[in-house]
Amino acid sequence: MTDTVPVGLCRDFDRLAATGVLQRLAEHPFDLTAPAALTPERISRYRSSAAGLDLLYATQRIDEATLDALQSLADESRVVEQFFLMRQGAVLNRIEGFASENRQVLHTACRDLFAEAPLAPAATAQARAELAKLRTFLAELDNGQLVNAAGAPFTELVHVGIGGSDLGPRALYLALAAFATPGRRVHFISNVDPDDAAAVLAGLDLSRTLVNVVSKSGTTLETLTNEELVRQAFVAAGLAPERHFLAVTGQGSPMDNPARYLRSFYMFDYIGGRYSATSMVGAVMLGFALGDEQVVEILRGAHAMDLAAAEPAIRHNPALLLALLGIWNRNFLGCDTVAVLPYSQALVRFAAHLQQLDMESNGKSVSRGGRELAWQSGPVLWGEPGTNGQHAFYQLLHQGTTIVPTEFIGFRQNQLDKDLLLQGTTSQEKLVANLLAQILALATGQPHENPNQRFAGNRPSALLIADRLTPYAMGALLALYEAKVVFQGFLWNINSFDQEGVQLGKKLANGLLAHFSAHRQNFLYNGSEADPRGWALLKAAGLLDEHV
């Protein structure tokens, strides 16, 4: 099935009846600082669960009337129906009436592997075939069939990619490094800054190193440059790159050249970069580090959340509920940013992944109908692990003039079995006590006669909590945020799957590079004629010799 989504489903946000209701409710949002606001009954009732994750949302500025209106908003925009059409393979990556991408959006097909009747059978068959290739490759590494020229096993893997080909995979690896196979290490090169590659390569035994080059397009400047840099390091060490380099790319891309690689894996047009962590883009590196069973666990967790996202009742669909609470805070309470604060050191790069996922998807100014938006779309998303953040920027969260809604992430147990009992409590207990204390402090505030010690409260937050950060839980968490972003895009009636906003900078960078190379070849080149502003900037920044 490759239908487009019926235009009738793409309703503009400002034309939905529920937006008017929500605007009226937002004149008097629920007051979390009122003495009887945060009752035990409210705290236990405002909880929604799926795939082993609980969403606690009593500390949002909502009541039953708000939730009912948010339900109407979801019903009116038929977001769950659109999500289902997406999973079936509808062409959602497009702008009606204008030249645009025109693609299906099928990252969910990578984890529909477990369904008896997958919703997009052709895409899931391709995902199955790639997973089977990966399993064969990993088995050959494990049983010693695939070794280096000296007969020694590969112990290191350098993952080379950028943007969607780096952030999600890297966040997942760091989140799950506690489950890594002993003796295997993963390193990442993404930035075209040569110091990034140099720092990674320093001290690596290249003879035992695999290099996983990941680029869907096979044309990305940073990745191709870094691949070449690393290839040259192998050649200089007397090693044959084709015995060490792996490729993950789109079929038919310039990188689709199996003779240059030990193995080639594919990802497909219908999976966007920032949604690709559960395709081969993440799976090859994660399979090397964690083994294929853990990769399957990640996919299982993600699949469970994809299924849960099909629930139309918002109170029973955490991904949709989180999306709607975000819209309440953004469009009706006027909050410009959202902070994601994981109380788990392993999630150190998760906010960086979500920055891309959310802001590249929903940082848009035109609707799917090509109309300039008359409403706000995606907020600025940022975050850092707690408790570190508490000792840094939480001052602003509690007492700043900007209200920042927060999404806390926590776990009941830590990943490893090491902990310390000190002064009657474990470190894990200290961590979660701090998390819950922040939630209460932000919501209820603290009156004080000294204005400098006053906390206004009414700062909304939500908590996502699971038992332990396992591969399954990580898959569920990743898919929850993917679904949240997609739901918000549907609600705002924007295309969450293109990224035209990154093109202009790329084009101008290529123009500036032309100055450098022409300048290198011909000392008399006068670039000011070709591009006076770029030329002037290069000179003002001291990047070209003054006398040229």
Question: Which residues contribute to the site for ligand G6Q (CB under 6 A)?
Answer: 162-165, 215-217, 220, 223, 272-274, 360, 499
360, 384, 407, 482: the active-site residue: 360
State the minimum distance, in angstroms, from the CB of residue 265 to ligand G6Q: 13
Residue pair 297/472 in contact (Cβ under 8 Å)? The answer is yes
Instruction: Give the integer Cα–Cα distance in Å for 260 and 251.
Output: 15
For the CB of residue 164, give the shortest distance to ligand G6Q in the complex, in Å. Answer: 3
Whichever of 223 and 294 has its CB closer to ligand G6Q, that residue is: 223
Q: Which CB sits closer to ligand G6Q, 255 or 442?
A: 255
Query: How many whole angstroms separate alpha carbon 59 and alpha carbon 30?
Result: 10
Query: By C-beta, is 246 or 333 nearer to ligand G6Q?
Result: 246
In 304-412, which ranges are E strands?
A: 337-342, 380-382, 406-411
Nearer to ligand G6Q, 274 or 349 (CB): 274
Q: Report the nearest approach of ligand G6Q to the CB of residue 101 (Å).
A: 10
Annotated active-site residue 506? The verdict is yes
How many Å apart are CA 480 and CA 492, to the nearest integer?
18
Cβ pair 129, 315 in contact under 8 A: no
As measured in angstroms, the least distance from the Cβ of 169 to ligand G6Q is 11
- What lies within 8 Å, CB to CB, of 119 at 6+ separation is 84, 87, 88, 89, 108, 109, 112
Measured from the CB atom, is 53 or 280 closer to ligand G6Q?
280
Give the tokens for residue 70.
């948010």
Residue nearer to ligand G6Q on the CB measure, 60 or 278 = 278
Q: How far is residue 231's CA from residue 128's CA, in Å, rounded to a whole number?
A: 30
Smallest distance, ligand G6Q to C-beta of residue 188, A: 14
Residue 67 or 357 with smaller CB distance to ligand G6Q: 357
Tell me which residue of 312, 285, 307, 335 sits closest to 459, measured CA to CA.
Answer: 335
Question: What are φ and ψ of residue 395, in 5° steps?
Answer: -50, -50
216 is catalytic: no
Which is the catalytic residue, given 28, 391, 507, 547?
391
- Contact indicator for 320, 80 with CB cutoff of 8 Å: yes
CB of 160 to ligand G6Q, least distance (A): 10
Q: Pick from 458, 137, 464, 117: which is nearest to 288 by CA?
A: 137
For residue 254, the minimal CB distance to ligand G6Q (Å) is 10
Q: Which residues contact 131 (CB under 8 A, 6 or more apart)?
A: 113, 283, 292, 295
Q: Answer yes or no: 140 catalytic.
A: no
User: What is 209-228 written as a DSSP string?
Assistant: EEEEEEESSS--HHHHHHHH
* 92 membership: H or E segment, kind and range: strand 91-93
Give the residue numbers marked as catalytic. Answer: 360, 391, 506
